[in-house]
Amino acid sequence: CRLFCKPSALAQHLVWGLGRSVVLWGRCWLWPNWPQLQMLQQLLQLPKPEPAVAREFLQLSDAGLVALDWLVGPQGAGSDSGGGGPSLVLLLIPNAAGKVTGGLLQLGLQALEQGFIPVIFNRRGHNGCPLTTPCLQPFGDPGDLREVVTYLHCRHPTAPLLAVSEGSGSGLLLAYLGESGSSSHLAAAACISPIFRGRDWFEARMPWLYEWPLLLHLKRGLSRYVGSLAKMVDVDRLLGSRSLRELEEALFCRTKSNPSSWEAYWERNEPLRDADEAAVPVLCLCSADDPVRGPPSCSLPFELFRSSPYFFLLLTSRGGHCGFPQQGPGHSWGHEAVLEFFRAMIEFLRAEERRKGLLRSH
């Protein structure tokens, strides 16, 4: 792994924290040579046993609904919050299609066993969440996520709040961090195989092995709400989409009441449009052989990691898309790296609070 970041005390502490993780120095095995197979495993294989969840619906300010799935289980829940103090609340954000993958569930289970309080954010109309308004969430519009984070902060006012996103779902998290700045209520965030440049990604298209399952997943969910959506969009064009770009345009650009151009849509929805305003530590875990994001030279914003003290890029030569497999079925060293990052950030922030307290007392 190589770490790209701006030199700082925070970066030094992160290097020290990641150095504690034995899993980052493990030996390679055959899986890393086949990123396409890693991708299939990540999409299709669920952890065994599957975690039990308690679903909670949250009504938003416009009467829309999102669903929060709290992972519950007997193994170690709430037993260790990583250095004392209240438990850490971990918000898990699926990809933009709302697909809760086996990898995301495995991360949630691992976090639960280590004392975190994991909860999955399901957008409007995704993963069985009812669509109560003829409105879905655009790629980089963090409005619904903002209300969810505010709710979690009110429900757990003394607990540090963390967020991790997977794949294209990172567009939502990155947009939220930029728009919210120092008012995000988050202590730290992590993006696993993020998509940084949304428009370029949609226009370049992905391997059909990844795009078609997600497209079918989205269409199957949207087909339940054709009556409601027919008031806003051309349903025939929507369900006849042959790519994720066509579907995105049908949903958010070619609307009946307020149509807009593809260019104008991305001016409002690019994930990094306000990245300079982000004010919490963000780890981006990426692989050079990611078949979904594209080549590092044109898909990774290296300048952002060199100039911002808050963005950290952990880049590995092999790992696929949201894969980062280690020996053993369903295991990912990327999950341990993310959880270790969160522990290191919480340690650093608590040490800074103690130092400032001592300075004030003198």
> Which residues does the annotation mark as catalytic?
290, 321
Q: DSSP class of residue 332?
A: B
Q: DSSP class of residue 91?
A: E
Q: At what angle do helices 244-252 and 208-222 cross, to 10 degrees?
A: 30
Query: Which amino acid makes up residue 351?
Result: A
Q: 156: which residues sit within 8 A by CB, 6+ positions away?
A: 86, 87, 89, 117
Query: Which amino acid makes up residue 31?
Result: W
Would you say 346 and 160 are in contact if contact means Cβ atoms under 8 Å apart?
yes
Would you say 137 and 124 are in contact if contact means Cβ atoms under 8 Å apart?
yes
Nearest to 166 by CA among 212, 229, 97: 97
Q: DSSP class of residue 311?
A: E
Cβ count near 319 (within 10 Å): 27
136: tokens are 């879905």
* CA–CA gap between residue 255 and residue 268 (Å, rounded): 16
Cis amide linkage into residue 157, ω under 30° from 0:
no
Query: Which amino acid makes up residue 114?
Result: Q
